[in-house]
Chains A and B, each alone.
Chain A
């Protein structure tokens, strides 16, 4: 099929949608929206539209990144801008249908802002909101605005234009050159330049080559790959096809986590639609280039994010990184053939580089980190969600500008980037820029793009223990220092957090950490000690409080805290007494209650159920003796 006619058809469908006299309702139904109740909202909308006899088109879209406001719904009446409603419940959805679609009252108290042309009184543009103000939406542009299960929506928004351009006007060498000039870097620990990787694969001898997309987003705390795959899957497919053309591969794999069922489903739909349109398969768009994709579902092994382990996993073997010295994947990858392996975000960047040019792509960012960074901004921050910002923006701007600061007026303590391989950075480093080299220089890393904000209520020793517990479980076991060293470190951390820490433990942790880093053959072991080492470097006083004073200053570690009832405030309402699972609370109605410290399991239920107006239960660092 001819690209022009495919495109014209798609554009006609897209324009008809917008020109029609029917209102359009987009509901964000990515996994995050669904967990907040988006599917119930869809059902309520369908019911309301049928009951009220309103002609409206209800469509699904991906995630625009404002997870804190999910479920989100964009209602577009003909000739009006779209109104984005936040935290929509089924009841609220019905109310909006009745009030806005029938009675023309937009109920702006439920709205976040507008998109598109025109204004609605009392509402400003959605892009004026803090999460979007400093944002540069490139890779996330489509997500939330198109139906990811309809290839025509993607095609009508410049989709597959880059693939068409490279197939008919560029040589593979020119494509590689353009990607190199753009300065695009991969998201592995080292931030390896993508263009150079492609070049190495192109030059490697062999007629069979592979392109693999690493969507094994195993990093706890990161979800941008999932959001892109669920919101704009064709962008990844197009990037992979271009990579295939550039390196000379006919086959590609998308290695996606089995924990992401919706991403898998939407990718499957996208791949079959792309095949139907002749955008994948034999002789793509009538050229002599053929390329097709398969989906491989990961089976739950974090170490398979490492390229040699990932490849073995596709081959049906145990996913253990190949021993050193190992050949580069670009020379000997999948089935020992030259293989290019990049991340979801890297592939999604390609169309922008081809369509707009390398200079445009590199026009934002820093000298060595070009373009935008996508972060999953989560934890103790007001506006949790997915953000895309120019490289080089400071952590402070991200946490306090885009993220809106810490909820409930609490104090900022640390920000963790790069997941279990990254590090925790304290307030004194908030002015560090978010780019590959600056983050690495302070002991953290860009990595997968998880960014977890921690406040005064987060215990840094507990966080270090948490991350190490994760990597320890995920160690494949072939390097003894990774297998046993992380286990010993974890034992020490468990002892410290349960009040059994000994003097000298901190030094021992540091020594072991350095040894594990030096004695492991893959990124998992080489970076597993990072969270421990950075928390010791920046929050040593917390370790010392746990060890020397047997206190958890953040009141997290259960062996090192106590709950007590403040006699002056307790009214004897029996709320805590009834809820206490350990039956540790004694007292009579209207008489001051007391906690038996020997029975108390420090679950915090009493603290949670004590009515706010009394606030008679307090949590204190250290253990009380009854």
Chain B
């Protein structure tokens, strides 16, 4: 993961509980992050689980969220960003409704994952790390999902698709054209 600061990251944002944009016209009501934080005690070692649960709820770590967490565990938002940006799991821009993860494991690689990835990029018209303009799909690659015997694998909206070929790619998104 790149260690550069994303353009939209505002370190001087004043924490409050405004609504959070989920991308496109989707908005999450205020108070959701506070609800997640209420499950924790505010200790430093809770940082990664907090980040995981927040991202689980809103899809990414928004500025607002990081600032609220910062107040909660009494740690500067730059330090939180330092930790979060170290781990591949965390994202800082809104994601689509459905996550498409293309496995890049060894078994998938030798069985044609690069061609599958390329075809998916072509089909959705986006690169890895990007989201379709209608916020329907986000494309990611993952080191390995551990289904090596059924390679190559793609996870679409949480469902593992086994033995994917470039020709099957269209079927993964059947009836859900994004263009």
State the A residues within 8 Å of B (CB).
31-32, 34-36, 67-68, 70, 217-223, 226, 258-260, 296-297, 299-302, 313-320, 376-380, 384-386, 416, 419, 450, 452, 454, 458, 463, 466-467, 470, 474, 476-477, 581, 603-605, 608-609
Give the distance to chain B from A296, nearest Cβ to Cβ, in Å: 8
- For B115, the chain A residues whose CB sits under 8 A away are 603-604
The answer to whether B111 and A379 have CB atoms under 8 Å apart is yes
- For A219, the chain B residues whose CB sits under 8 A away are 144
Can you list 29 A-B contacts (CB < 8 A)?
A31-B147, A32-B150, A35-B160, A67-B150, A219-B144, A220-B109, A221-B148, A223-B147, A223-B148, A258-B52, A258-B89, A259-B145, A259-B146, A297-B48, A299-B48, A299-B51, A299-B52, A299-B88, A300-B87, A302-B143, A313-B48, A316-B45, A316-B48, A378-B151, A379-B111, A384-B150, A450-B106, A452-B148, A609-B167
Interface size of B in residues (CB-CB distance below 8 Å): 45
Give the distance to chain A from B5, nearest Cβ to Cβ, in Å: 16
Give the distance to chain A from B179, nearest Cβ to Cβ, in Å: 14
Contact of A384 among B44, B48, B149 (CB under 8 A): B149
Q: Which residue of B lies closest to A463 (CB)?
A: B110
Cα distance, A200 to B17, chains bound together (Å): 50
Cα distance, A220 to B141, chains bound together (Å): 12
- For B87, the chain A residues whose CB sits under 8 A away are 299-301, 319
Q: Which residue of A lies closest to B112 (CB)?
A: A604
The answer to whether B146 and A217 have CB atoms under 8 Å apart is yes
Contact of B148 among A70, A384, A608 (CB under 8 A): A384
- For B173, the chain A residues whose CB sits under 8 A away are none
Contact of B144 among A221, A299, A477 (CB under 8 A): A221
Q: Which residue of B lies closest to A39 (CB)?
A: B159
Seed contacts A221-B105, A315-B44, A452-B148; 14 additional CB < 8 Å A-B pairs = A35-B150, A35-B160, A219-B144, A223-B144, A301-B87, A316-B83, A318-B83, A318-B86, A378-B149, A384-B150, A419-B106, A452-B110, A581-B122, A603-B166
B46, CB-defined interface residue at 8 Å:
yes
Give the distance to chain B from A475, nearest Cβ to Cβ, in Å: 11
Give the distance to chain B from A297, nearest Cβ to Cβ, in Å: 6
- For B175, the chain A residues whose CB sits under 8 A away are none
- For B52, the chain A residues whose CB sits under 8 A away are 258, 297, 299
Assess A222 versus B88: contact at CB under 8 Å? Given A258-B52, A315-B44, A380-B110: no
The answer to whether B149 and A376 have CB atoms under 8 Å apart is yes
Cα distance, A297 to B47, chains bound together (Å): 12
The answer to whether A454 and B110 have CB atoms under 8 Å apart is yes
Cα distance, A302 to B87, chains bound together (Å): 9
Contact of B143 among A32, A299, A386, A470 (CB under 8 A): A470
Give the distance to chain B from A16, nearest Cβ to Cβ, in Å: 34
Q: Which residue of B lies closest to A258 (CB)?
A: B89
Assess A70 versus B107: contact at CB under 8 Å? Given A36-B162, A299-B51: no
Name the residue in A313, A452, A605 with the highest tally of chain B Cβ atoms < 10 Å from its Cβ: A452
Q: Which residue of B lies closest to A227 (CB)?
A: B146
- For B107, the chain A residues whose CB sits under 8 A away are 220-221, 378-379, 384, 452
Cα distance, A217 to B105, chains bound together (Å): 12
Q: Which residue of A lies closest to B75 (CB)?
A: A316
Assess A259 versus B142: contact at CB under 8 Å? Given A299-B88, A378-B149, A466-B106: yes
How many cross-chain pairs have Cβ atoms below 8 Å apart between A and B?
A: 150
Contact of B88 among A31, A300, A386 (CB under 8 A): A300
Give the 4 A-B CB pairs with smallest separation, nearest first.
A67-B149, A35-B160, A221-B106, A300-B88
- For A608, the chain B residues whose CB sits under 8 A away are 165-167
- For A70, the chain B residues whose CB sits under 8 A away are 149-150
- For B119, the chain A residues whose CB sits under 8 A away are 603
Cα distance, A219 to B146, chains bound together (Å): 9
Cα distance, A277 to B172, chains bound together (Å): 44
- For B49, the chain A residues whose CB sits under 8 A away are 296-297
Contact bitstring B84-122, A, C-beta under 8 A = 1, else 0: 001111100000000000001111111100010011001
Give the distance to chain A from B6, nearest Cβ to Cβ, in Å: 18
Give the distance to chain A from B87, nearest Cβ to Cβ, in Å: 4
B139, CB-defined interface residue at 8 Å:
no
Cα distance, A34 to B162, chains bound together (Å): 9
Q: Which residue of B lies closest to A384 (CB)?
A: B149
Query: CB within 8 Å of A: which of B31-52?
Result: 44-49, 51-52
Cα distance, A32 to B151, chains bound together (Å): 10
Cα distance, A376 to B160, chains bound together (Å): 18
- For B166, the chain A residues whose CB sits under 8 A away are 603-605, 608
The answer to whether B106 and A314 have CB atoms under 8 Å apart is no
Assess A378 versus B122: contact at CB under 8 Å? Given A219-B144, A259-B142, A299-B90: no
- For B153, the chain A residues whose CB sits under 8 A away are 35
Cα distance, A474 to B143, chains bound together (Å): 10
B136, CB-defined interface residue at 8 Å:
no
The answer to whether B150 and A466 have CB atoms under 8 Å apart is no
The answer to whether A32 and B122 have CB atoms under 8 Å apart is no
B130, CB-defined interface residue at 8 Å:
no
Cα distance, A226 to B46, chains bound together (Å): 24
- For A378, the chain B residues whose CB sits under 8 A away are 106-107, 148-149, 151
